Structure 1
Amino acid sequence: MSDFNILHNPRCSKSRQTLALLQENGIEPTIIEYLKTPPSEKELSAIIKNLGVSPRDVLRKKEAEYKEAGLDNQELTDKQVINLMVQYPKVIERPIVFNDKAAAVGRPPENVLNIIK
């Protein structure tokens, strides 16, 4: 199976719990601190496709940047939403564990067990 990556925020308890769960299961993912190094539009599009959801399903709607970026505009296309997510990475739900074939949001952390087993 492909190596795993995690879009990680070390200040987030769910992100830390998900990383610990991966490590307990023998997986040392590549840690991407997405607030420092946001994914590209292409990378984020691929992750969202592997999640099998719409971009809006992985938005943190309570972040100030959500409104600041105009993401509350329901007329934005998926491509526009993804572009704004790249520009405002704080609005990306965390953590997301992924490889080139699968992805899962670690809320709750146990969700990632579905893609690593």
Structure 2
Amino acid sequence: MSDFPVTIFHNPACGTSRNVVAAVQGVGLTPEVVEYLKAGWTRDQLTDLLARMGASPRDVLREKGTPAAELGLLDDGVSDDTLLDAMVAHPILVNRPIVVTPLGVVLARPSERVFEVLDRRPETFTKEDGEVVRL
């Protein structure tokens, strides 16, 4: 653990998530990486993260590659409680990566959003596909 704690709720199969881990390591920090598909979520954990992000469950609902449509979660009338229950039951429904630091919590999509909650940043950041982002 580094002197500036960083927790990344990560999916190693996701390029954006891998970019975030690399970005944090690239500025000299050692993140705690939580593979949330293995670890799962608790309702309290998700509620806390969402409150700290100022977001609703719908704001972090992942549609692509998930059972969201099959579960009827894409309808406007679906309640936050229903979404949270589904996210706990199906962790893949939560978009990633979510990054937690002393400066805040952010859904780091696009990956350069991670720098909003870090205590340092480079002038540029190169993603794994070669895209260079000026910060």
- Calculate the TM-score normalised by the size of structure 1: 0.89
User: Hey, which of these two has a bigger chunk of strand by percent?
Assistant: 2
What is the Cα-based RMSD across aligned positions, in Å?
Answer: 1.8
Q: Indicate whether 1:9 and 2:18 are aligned.
A: no
Q: Which has the higher helix share?
A: 1
Cα gap change, 1:75/1:101 in structure 2, threshold over 3 Å: closer, same or farther?
A: farther
CA contact (8 A) 2:66 2:92 kept: no
Task: Please list every run of 5 or more consecutive structure 2 residues that lacks an aligned counterpart in the other structure.
Answer: 120-135
* Equivalent in the alignment of 2:28: 26
User: Between the two proteins, what is the percent identity of the paired residues?
Assistant: 34
Given residue 20 of structure 2, which amino acid in structure 1 is its aligned partner? T
After superposition, the Cα gap between the structure-2 partners of 1:2 and 1:9, relative to the gap in structure 1 and judged at 3 Å, is same
Residue 113 of structure 2 corresponds to: 111
Which runs of 5 or more residues in structure 1 are unaligned? none
1:50 maps to which of 25, 28, 52: 52
1:93 pairs with 82, 92, 95, which one? Answer: 95
Residue among 10, 15, 38 paired with 1:36: 38
Q: Secondary structure at the match of 2:85?
A: helix
Q: 1:24 to 1:64 in 2, by over 3 A?
A: closer
Structure number with the bigger relative contact order (C-alpha 8 A, sep ≥ 6) is 1
One-letter code of the match for 2:54? G
Task: Tell me the SS of whatever aligns to 1:35.
Answer: helix
